[in-house]
Amino acid sequence: MSEADTFDPGAHLPLRPVEFQVLVLLGERERHGWAVLQDMEAGGQAVPGIATLYRTLRRLEDEGFIERQAGLKSEEDHRRVYALTASGREVASAEARRLGTLLGIARAADLIV
């Protein structure tokens, strides 16, 4: 049995909000760290400090949920570009379902109109 056959995305939940935000953004397209921050801000999301973001990127990379892309725009451009991995997509999807269930409970309790 391969590692992919035994991967349980639910074992990695719940995600920290910043982790979920990063995975969702990288699910749309690859980005470098600064672009992640800019897109969070443009989307009206909570924006972490730069150190928090880069610790989060490192942690997600260590977990195998994101990976650095090899191609840089130029030799002078040292930005690290990240993309979502298949495992990262599974974890983000599982977290979205988990949050959707919680929202359903809140709606049933008339907490959300």
Q: Give the pLDDT of residue 113.
A: 81
Domain ranges of the chain: 15-108
Band the pLDDT of 20: cuts 50, 70, 90.
Answer: very high
Q: What is the signed CA dihedral for 78, 56, 68, 28, rounded to 10 degrees?
A: -110
The CATH classification number of 15-108 equals: 1.10.10.10
Q: What is the pLDDT of residues 44-88, one digit of tens each?
A: 988 999 999 999 999 999 999 999 997 655 555 678 999 999 999
User: Where does residue 36 rank: exposed (0-12), middle (13-18), buried (19+ CB within 10 A)?
Assistant: buried
Count of CA atoms in the C-beta half-sphere (13 A) of 79:
13
Residue 9 CA to residue 29 CA, distance in Å, equals: 21
Contact (CB, 8 A) for 49 and 65: no
Cα(95)–Cα(8) distance, integer angstroms? 12
* Dist. CA 47–CA 60, nearest whole Å: 17
**The dihedral of CA 97, 63, 67, 82: what is its sign?**
positive
| Out of 20-24, 45-49, 78-82, 101-105, least confident range | 78-82
Residue-level pLDDT at 79: 83
